[in-house]
Each structure stands twice: as C-alpha cells, then as structure tokens.
Amino acid sequence: MGAAVLGSGGRIFSGCNVENTSLGLTCCAERNAIFAMVAAGETEIREILVIGETDEFLPPCGACRQVIAEFAPPSAVVHMCNRAGSSREATVSELVPFIFHWKKES
C-alpha cells in the first residue's frame, strides 16, 4: 500500500507500508508519509491519497485516521484509490466524525 500527502507548503511526501512480523510494530503508508512531512518541517496536510493493489478502495485504519486528524483540517480531502484507477473521496471529518484533539497547556 502507498500514500502521498500534500503539505500546506505545496510539497508532496510519500510513504509505504512497512510490515513487521510483530504486527504491532508495522507502520502504515499514511503515517509514514505524514511522518516524512513532519520531519521535513511541515505540520499541516492539505490532501492525502491512499492507494493499494486491490479492487476495493482502501480507507485509512483507525490509527492512521487519528494521525491524519491531528495534522489536517476537518475539511481536508482523503482520496482512496484502487488498482483500476478509480477513487472515492471523503473529508477528514467524514472519516473521523468525533475527532479527538489533545489540548496543549499554555
């Protein structure tokens, strides 16, 4: 599976699944792309694309949805694509209807 994130600065960051025998240590493409964006100094997602070698559309898993919600406005679009080149779109708020945000103390 692969993902690409369009950061607020206009740069695109990519990621892929990194599998591990211990499934808890696996990291999804979406989070890897977001972490690459953050490592490059950007902190806001404009759009995100997720694609896989399947006939189905691949929505982000729950962990990825939470990370996306931390770095994207609720109106940001998530493009879910399949190997046929078709896509389905949803906003972050549609994927995460009750977004949890950690409030930093001042």
Active-site entry in 19, 30, 53, 56: 30
Residue given tokens 């990370």 in the structure block? 67
Residue 30 is a catalytic residue: yes
Strands ordered across the beta sheet of 45-51:
12-16, 2-7, 45-51, 77-81, 87-91
89, 79 Cβ separation under 8 angstroms: yes
45, 7 Cβ separation under 8 angstroms: yes
Residue given tokens 């806001």 in the structure block? 44
Smallest CA-to-CA distance from 13 within 22, 5, 21 is with 5
Catalytic residues: 30
